[in-house]
Amino acid sequence: MMSDTKNEMKQQVQQFWNNQACGTQFTDKEKYSKEYFEDIEDLRYRQEPEIFSFAQFTRFRDKKLLEVGVGAGTDFLQWARAGAVVYGIDLTPEAVEHVHHRLSLYGLKAEEIKVADSENIPFPDNFFDIVYSWGVIHHTPDTPKAMREIIRVCKPGGTCKVMIYHRHSLLSYFFWIKYALLKGKPWMSLSKVLWNHMESIGTKAYTIKEVHQMLKMNTIENLKIQPVLTYYDKMTRFNKLFRLCAKLVANLFGYNKVGWFLTIEFNKK
Ligand SMILES: C[S@@+](CC[C@H](N)C(=O)[O-])C[C@H]1O[C@@H](n2cnc3c(N)ncnc32)[C@H](O)[C@@H]1O
């Protein structure tokens, strides 16, 4: 049984994302119109172009794919366009509704899209050729459980591609300066700052070592863990001075090593 605190936290996470599906806050176009979805898609891949090299949408034609945490469905649309046999889940009805509208607008079909929890994925063991999740399982209270579920539903030999947030990144330290140092609370940890201020309550960010630890007991192989320096780390929306400082610090520490996105890829044995 899930503890009451975890249950309450998950409800808050659900409310947060149900209030506004991820990435939809930047468009003023009519909800569910073609212009609305195209604005969302355009901005997403301008800000997060690294998704293409990680996901490799076109390499899974006819493969059975599950996306965990579909959000507004931008990546889900790419999988469907590329001919994968697509299944999706998200904790919120808002996300599921977005995906239904989005696919029908482009004349595409999913096998199944439903409201479900990444900690209890409602599919049998060894069911999917590929399980994909971008920026999702760090929001759920029991991230290791969600990771085990992703592995459980993947077929032996299948591929899992997961992105979670990276604690030792420029964006994390920027948040720490903003919400701890400049608020006169330098003792506040990075984890606590992210927990309270990054998107929904309880958001976590991991180190590479912690990811190894999380995956240790699982039957996987060909593990690749790669941080990626993002649009957000580069302070792209800030003035020149910020951008220059970010660039200098990133180069000093090894550029991608201090990136906010931690991409994780492996095969199930
Ligand atoms: C940052 S958004 C990412 C959405 C999408 N993958 C994207 O990249 O745009 C986080 C998403 O995770 C979903 N989510 C959070 N906790 C979840 C859980 N326990 N199970 C399934 N989805 C969850 C939220 O509803 C939200 O749609």
For residue 24 and ligand 1, the question of a CB distance below 6 A is answered with: no
Q: Which amino acid, residue 104?
A: S
Distance (Å) of CA 247 to CA 165, 170, 179: 20, 10, 22
The secondary structure of the chain in percent helix, strand, coil, rounded to multiples of 5, reads 45, 20, 35
| Pairing label, strands 261-268, 154-165 | antiparallel
Give the atom of ligand 1 at the shortest distance from the alpha carbon of 92.
25
Q: In 10 A of CB 156, how many CB atoms?
A: 10
R_g of the chain computed on alpha carbons: 18
Q: What is the pLDDT at residue 2?
A: 59
Residue 264's closest CA among 135, 116, 154, 118?
A: 135
CATH number for the segment(s) 4-166+203-229+257-268: 3.40.50.150
pLDDT digits (tens, 9 = 90+) for 29-64: 999 999 999 999 999 999 999 999 999 999 999 999
Q: What is the pLDDT at residue 169?
A: 97
Pocket test for ligand 1, best of 91, 102, 261 (most atoms within 8 A of CB): 91
Domain ranges of the chain: 4-166+203-229+257-268
Pocket test for ligand 1, best of 6, 16, 22 (most atoms within 8 A of CB): 22
218 token code pair: 């699982």
Q: How far apart are CA 128 and CA 102, in angstroms?
A: 23
pTM (predicted TM-score): 0.97
For residue 230 and ligand 1, the question of a CB distance below 6 A is answered with: no
For residue 140 and ligand 1, the question of a CB distance below 6 A is answered with: yes
Nearest alpha carbon, ligand 1 atom 5 = 71
Classify residue 208 by burial, with Cβ atoms within 10 Å: 0-12, 13-18, 19+: middle
* Residues facing residue 68 across a β-bridge: 89
Q: How far is CA 81 from the centre of its chain?
A: 20
Tell me which residue has tokens 């009519």. 30
Nearest alpha carbon, ligand 1 atom 1 = 135
Q: How far apart are CA 238 and CA 229, in angstroms?
A: 16
Pocket test for ligand 1, best of 12, 14, 17, 201 (most atoms within 8 A of CB): 17
pLDDT in tens, the chain (269 residues): 457 888 999 999 999 999 999 989 999 999 999 999 999 999 999 999 999 999 999 999 999 999 999 999 999 999 999 999 999 999 999 999 999 999 999 999 999 999 999 999 999 999 999 999 999 999 999 999 999 999 999 999 999 999 999 999 999 999 999 999 999 999 999 999 999 999 999 999 999 999 999 999 889 999 999 999 999 999 888 899 989 998 999 899 988 999 999 999 999 99
For residue 76 and ligand 1, the question of a CB distance below 6 A is answered with: no
Nearest alpha carbon, ligand 1 atom 16 = 140
